[in-house]
Structure 1
Amino acid sequence: MRVMVMVKATSDSEAGTMPGTELLAAMGNFNEELVKAGVMLAGEGLHPSATGKRVRFSGSQRTVIDGPFTETKELVAGFWLWQVKSMEEAVEWVRRCPNPMIGDSEIEIRPLFEADDFGAELTPELRAQEERLRAGAEGAANRPR
């Protein structure tokens, strides 16, 4: 199963406070363990929401909203994409993670939808399209921009 592991934002991460060398080294070592175990598919930190934008959809209308966004506890400061055998395995990996923030922090784990989750609504044609898109996206990720 694939899961997204989200590091929740804090007032420090939203203020742009960067981690020190010790935390960067600890997280680098943890990420190396994930890669060696074949768990980590991707992972990145995010800039504070002040540098971001949201697009609100209402029917055919699109409204662009500039950051920063309120409710820091609802924001994401970074993420991993993992391939694990179970949610329990994901939880065990997160328990081994260094605290990703200077103070208290929280990490959320959520499973990704897989093609089979959509049942008969995902027709063979739509499944083939999904597979083509996934292959194209993987190829694009390996090309220089």
Structure 2
Amino acid sequence: MPRYLSMVRIQEGTIDMASADPGFEQRMGALFEEITKAGVMLDTAGLKPTAESTRITWSDGELSCTDGPFTETKEVVGGYALMQCKDMAEAVEWGKRFLEVHPKEWLVGLEVREVEEPGL
């Protein structure tokens, strides 16, 4: 069964967990329990801010490292989920359900991509 990487895209610094409605964590917990019991969720986590990250670039045969934050970047990957689904439609459906549990005033997006399996 194919695997899909769902990357949570946010505008860094615009989401404050303290602003979440009281039921947010409960809704998210219930969804994670459901997706885990369904055998879909392989791994998930939030990511630390870009201020605590480093970009490594290979260009013209040279490596360079740039420490965050990356002020030129508006949208960043704020978390991820690795899922095993029967097809892209199922992965997208789980992604929609994930977004729907968030407070409606937050701007959160997902990019869902199938993982390219070795030898396929």
**TM-score normalised by the shorter chain: which range applies?**
0.7 to 0.9
Give yes or no for contact 1:5–1:79 (8 Å, CA) kept in 2.
Answer: yes
* Structure 2: stretches of 5+ with no match in the other structure: none
Q: 2:102: which partner in 1?
A: 99
Matches of 1:22 and 1:61, distance apart in 2 = 49
**How high is the sequence identity, in percent, across the aligned residues?**
35
Matches of 1:77 and 1:100, distance apart in 2 = 16
Give yes or no for contact 2:3–2:84 (8 Å, CA) kept in 1.
Answer: yes
Equivalent residue pairs, number: 114
Q: Say which structure is richer in helix.
A: 1
CA shift for structure 1 position 76? 0.1
Map of 1:52-131 to 2, 5 A cutoff?
Answer: 52-69=53-70, 70-73=72-75, 75-97=76-98, 98-99=101-102, 103-117=106-120
Q: Say which structure is richer in strand.
A: 2
Matches of 1:102 and 1:45, distance apart in 2 = 20
Give yes or no for contact 2:6–2:81 (8 Å, CA) kept in 1.
Answer: yes
> What TM-score, normalized to structure 2?
0.82
RMSD, matched Cα: 2.1
**Paired letter, 1:104:** L
* Structure 1: stretches of 5+ with no match in the other structure: 118-145
CA shift for structure 1 position 103? 1.1
CA shift for structure 1 position 32? 0.8
**Paired letter, 2:117:** E
Q: 1:18: which partner in 2?
A: 17
CA shift for structure 1 position 12? 3.2
Give yes or no for contact 1:6–1:108 (8 Å, CA) kept in 2.
Answer: yes
